[in-house]
């Protein structure tokens, strides 16, 4: 039984790329009983039993030792999800108190004006701001007809009247981070979650729930499970470069809050259908999936009745691209939870799809054995 209270806190947490510390704290809170370590980039590592990867830190000031190979000889399965969200950074503060921004992650600019945002200062103060838009009263007929936008024209207004006020009273400086201002809600009657940052706090949630579900049977699993929450995915899958080097996985499952496409494509063509089950990704711009791993997941899904849908993406990328190119080539299973309107303020997703993603990961890990891993590692080819 998944605990959506955790998702609420993860979704509401402030954490654009490079500023993920609040997300780290929420993950730590809900990984009690697990070994835990975070690094200087806000990547987080969790294990059901501590090894050199997670041992030796905690509240002390000691610098973490380089992880040595564990005495545990089982293959390492890394659960990946990125913990950052798309946001902004204050670039400059003008004399009239308005602030220019740069984006952290990919936004379509038409979804930005006239929205509420939160600016966080270095002291941790939170200020509500509005992304500027020009009221219809001030637009010329030409401007009304023109829908083009430049990020330089979208400013943040925190209600100040001068640069001096922004600096002295609000305490905002260039370099401060900004995120969409959205409060999570769950609609019990239709099983739909509403909130921000479902790309990819849903993935963070799935790692926590998967590890909790496997806690009691850790000794019996054929693989050692490591949770790796990666920072800075939205600015170029950067955190996963570090987590993959630290964890040195033999295989991996990547969770993503994938863009739902059912509002745009008819049935049969849509491959990210909300309430359609966990999405198994065959291809995107970053990774050609391991067909043996996908076949194994399909077998599990069919045997246990876990709803799933296949996706062959024309674009997009996930941490699987980086993880798969490490070590001796890492087979990765990419599991998506279809999320409507990702990379904008407001997202919807279905509880049933989250449950399907967690069940798929748990059962894939439970079912691993020497024989199916041989297939996944392609040791059956010759």
22 part of the interface to Zn ion, by CB under 5 A: no
Where does this chain touch Zn ion (CB under 5 A) — which range of 110-118, 167-175, 197-205, 303-311? 197-205
Secondary structure element (H or E) that encloses residue 252, with its range: strand 251-256
Q: How far is the CB of 343 from Zn ion (least distance, A)?
A: 6
Binding residues for Zn(2+): 82, 199, 234, 256, 343
Handedness of CA 336, 310, 356, 368 (dihedral sign): negative
Q: List binders of Zn ion among 144-183 (CB under 5 A).
A: none
Nearest Cα residue to 46 out of 16, 26, 62, 75: 26
For residues 8 and 234, which CB has a smaller minimum distance to Zn ion in the complex? 234
Where does this chain touch Zn ion (CB under 5 A) — which range of 32-40, 47-55, 195-203, 294-302? 195-203
For residues 16 and 301, which CB has a smaller minimum distance to Zn ion in the complex? 16
Distance separating alpha carbons of residues 162 and 172, to the nearest angstrom: 12
Distance separating alpha carbons of residues 9 and 54, to the nearest angstrom: 24
Output the 3-class SS for 67-101: CCCCCCCCCEEEEEEECCECEEEEEEECCCCCEEE
Q: List binders of Zn ion among 198-217 (CB under 5 A).
A: 199
For residues 199 and 353, which CB has a smaller minimum distance to Zn ion in the complex? 199
For residues 67 and 257, which CB has a smaller minimum distance to Zn ion in the complex? 257
Alpha-helix residue ranges (DSSP H) falling in 182-341? 198-214, 239-247, 291-304, 320-323
Q: How far is the CB of 82 from Zn ion (least distance, A)?
A: 8
Q: Which of 8, 9, 47, 233 is catalytic?
A: 233
The verdict on whether 152 is a catalytic residue reads: no
Helix axes 4-12, 21-30, angle to 10 degrees: 170
Q: Are 87 and 175 in contact (CB under 8 A)?
A: no
Closest-by-Cβ residue to Zn ion is: 199
Binding residues: 82, 199, 234, 256, 343
Q: Which two tokens stand for residue 20?
A: 């993920």
Q: How far is the CB of 76 from Zn ion (least distance, A)?
A: 26
By CB under 5 A, the count of residues binding Zn ion is 1
Q: List binders of Zn ion among 221-240 (CB under 5 A).
A: none
Distance separating alpha carbons of residues 323 and 25, to the nearest angstrom: 25
Where does this chain touch Zn ion (CB under 5 A) — which range of 6-14, 194-202, 272-280, 304-312? 194-202
| 55-70 residues labelled b (16+ CB within 10 A) or e (exposed) | eebeeeeeebeebeeb
For residues 316 and 367, which CB has a smaller minimum distance to Zn ion in the complex? 316
Where do contacts with Zn ion occur on this chain (CB under 5 A)?
Answer: 199
Active site residues: 233
């Amino acid at each position: 039984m998944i605990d959506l209270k955790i998702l609420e806190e993860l979704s509401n947490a402030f954490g654009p790329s490079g500023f993920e510390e609040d997300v780290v704290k929420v993950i730590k809170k809900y990984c009690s009983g697990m070994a835990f370590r975070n690094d200087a980039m806000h990547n987080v590592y969790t294990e059901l039993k501590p090894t050199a990867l997670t041992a030796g830190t905690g509240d002390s000031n000691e610098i973490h030792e380089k992880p040595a190979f564990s005495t545990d000889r089982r293959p390492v399965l890394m659960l990946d999800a990125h913990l950052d969200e798309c946001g902004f950074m204050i670039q400059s503060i003008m004399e009239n108190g308005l602030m220019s921004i740069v984006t952290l992650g990919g936004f379509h600019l038409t979804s930005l004006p006239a929205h509420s945002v939160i600016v966080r200062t270095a002291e941790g103060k939170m200020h509500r701001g509005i992304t500027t838009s020009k009221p219809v009263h001030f637009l010329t007929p030409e401007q009304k007809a023109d829908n083009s936008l430049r990020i330089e024209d979208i400013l943040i207004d925190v209600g100040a009247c001068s640069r001096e006020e922004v600096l002295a009273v609000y305490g905002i400086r260039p370099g401060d981070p900004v995120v969409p201002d959205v409060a999570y809600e769950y609609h019990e009657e239709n099983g739909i979650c509403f909130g921000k940052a479902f790309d990819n706090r849903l993935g963070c949630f799935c790692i926590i729930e998967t590890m909790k579900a496997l806690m009691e049977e850790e000794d019996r699993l054929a693989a050692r499970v490591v949770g790796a929450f990666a920072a800075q995915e939205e600015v170029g899958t950067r955190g996963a470069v570090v987590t993959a080097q630290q964890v040195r996985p033999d295989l991996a499952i990547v969770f993503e809050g994938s863009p739902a496409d059912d509002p745009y494509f008819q049935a049969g063509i849509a491959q990210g259908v909300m309430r359609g089950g966990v999405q198994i990704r065959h291809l995107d711009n970053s990774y050609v999936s391991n067909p043996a791993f996908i076949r194994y997941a399909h077998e599990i899904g069919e045997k246990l009745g876990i709803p799933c849908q296949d996706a062959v993406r024309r674009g997009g990328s996930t941490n699987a691209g980086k993880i798969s190119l490490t070590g001796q080539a890492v087979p990765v299973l990419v599991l998506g939870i279809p999320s409507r309107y990702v990379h904008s303020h407001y997202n919807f997703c279905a509880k049933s799809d989250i449950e399907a993603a967690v069940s798929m990961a748990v059962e894939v890990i439970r079912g691993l054995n020497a024989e199916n891993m041989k297939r996944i590692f392609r040791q059956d080819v010759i």
